[in-house]
Amino acid sequence: MQLSSMVASPRQLLQHCISTLHCIVSSVFSVVCYWTAGACKGTTSPRRSVDSKLEQRKVQNAMTPTSVNYHFTRKCNYKCGFCFHTAKTSFVLPLEEAKRGLKLLKESGMEKINFSGGEPFLHDKGEFLGKLVEFCKLDLQLPSVSIVSNGSLIKEKWFQKYGEYLDILAISCDSFDEATNQLIGRAQGRKSHIDNLYKIRSWCQQYKVAFKINSVINTFNVDEDMSEAITQLSPVRWKVFQCLLIDGENAGETALREAERFVISDQLFQEFLDRHSSVSCLVPESNEKMRNSYLILDEYMRFLDCREGRKDPSKSILDVGVKEAICFSGFDEKMFLKRGGKYVWSKADMKLQW
């Protein structure tokens, strides 16, 4: 018995040592696993948790669709040679579906909607557009509702019916020489694009809509001096774009336009800007500023990513929601702010002399 007890005692001691060592190893392993898992989940420490929440908030803020450009139609009655949103389809969403998408955008933080094309007044003689403008201002109560148009199809009766709901109307005009507009394709037949521009300017003043002008600077107008005409028209903003190539739209084998002959260098664009430096409402947009600083929705309500020099569509916000679709927009918020994308865009705040 005594011998047996003496033999058993070292064995028990060895088992106890092994058990203790096992507990120590398990404890260390558990701690390592806890901290590793915590690092993945952002819960490693209160400090890391705060940092993680800040990063998530930054991402969330960057993905807020504050200002959205909805190109609900691609069809146009003009044939501008550099057009970078061409008539590749004739599709237009049903009105109620378009309204549903706009409501989703408002719920995600949209403050400004800009309707564009193609030519937005072409579809249903402007009635479709008018109903969307009214919906955005009355139902969604957006601070800013704007339109970009070539102006050729706008009638005074449209202003009478929908003008009160519209904050800004931008008319595209690339030259104050009729022959140059004809060369560019900014025309329909022999109608005067410039006469129409002045007429719309007077309607905007009469019906209390802020008037804006957009110009694309290219090989045909780069040497022109537009200072006098712009000063006379006195728009709230004069957006001056450098002609931009987009693969599949105005460049490449599948494109409907060949814009290479319209493209100008950065130096020529800067010379144009310098010539017009006295025009206080001028807002310049080079290729660098323009390419990724717009949230663009196409006719299917898909965000278009232009980072690779083409328009790669996301899934439609009508199918997957705004938060998922916007992740594939390629939107650069810093460049959006740098180019002056955020400004006083509600006519109620502009203090204009009507």
Q: What is the pLDDT of residue 256?
A: 82
Q: What is the pLDDT of residue 336?
A: 80
User: Which range is least confidently modeled, 73-77, 205-209, 258-262?
Assistant: 258-262
Please check the confidence at residue 244 and state whether its pLDDT lies above 60: yes
Mean predicted confidence (pLDDT) in 185-197: 92
Mean predicted confidence (pLDDT) in 253-272: 91
Do 293 and 341 form a contact (C-beta atoms < 8 A)? yes
Q: Which of 17, 33, 40, 80 is catalytic?
A: 80
Find out whether the peptide bond into 117 is cis, omega within 30 degrees of 0: no
Token pair, residue 336, equals 């959006």
243 part of the active site: no
Pick the CATH number of 63-216+290-347 from 1.10.357.10, 3.20.20.70, 1.10.10.10, 3.90.550.10: 3.20.20.70
> How far is Cα 325 from Cα 336, in angstroms, rounded to an integer?
19
Q: What is the pLDDT of residue 127?
A: 98
Q: What is the pLDDT of residue 353?
A: 67
83 part of the active site: yes
Please check the confidence at residue 245 and state whether its pLDDT lies above 90: no
139 secondary structure, DSSP code: I
> How far is Cα 65 from Cα 51, in angstroms, rounded to an integer?
24
Domain boundaries, the chain: 63-216+290-347
Mean predicted confidence (pLDDT) in 204-209: 96
Q: What is the pLDDT of residue 56?
A: 44
Q: What is the mean pLDDT of the chain?
A: 84
> How far is Cα 1 from Cα 282, in angstroms, rounded to an integer?
106
Mean pLDDT is highest, among 37-46, 84-93, 182-191, 217-226, for 217-226
Query: For the chain, how long is the longest CA-to-CA vector?
Result: 123
Mean predicted confidence (pLDDT) in 42-64: 48
279 or 5, which is more confident: 279
Q: Per-residue pLDDT tens for 18-47?
A: 444 544 444 444 433 333 444 333 444 444
Q: What is the pLDDT of residue 354?
A: 57
CB atoms within 10 A of CB 165: 18
Q: Which of 17, 33, 83, 204 is catalytic?
A: 83
> How far is Cα 35 from Cα 53, in angstroms, rounded to an integer?
18
Give me the phi and psi of 104, to 5 degrees please.
-60, -40
In the chain, the amino acid numbered 348 is A
23 part of the active site: no
Q: Per-residue pLDDT tens for 107-166?
A: 999 999 999 999 999 999 999 999 999 999 999 999 999 999 999 999 999 999 999 999
Q: Per-residue pLDDT tens for 298-332?
A: 999 999 987 777 778 999 999 999 999 999 887 87
- C-alpha torsion sign, points 42, 43, 48, 49: positive
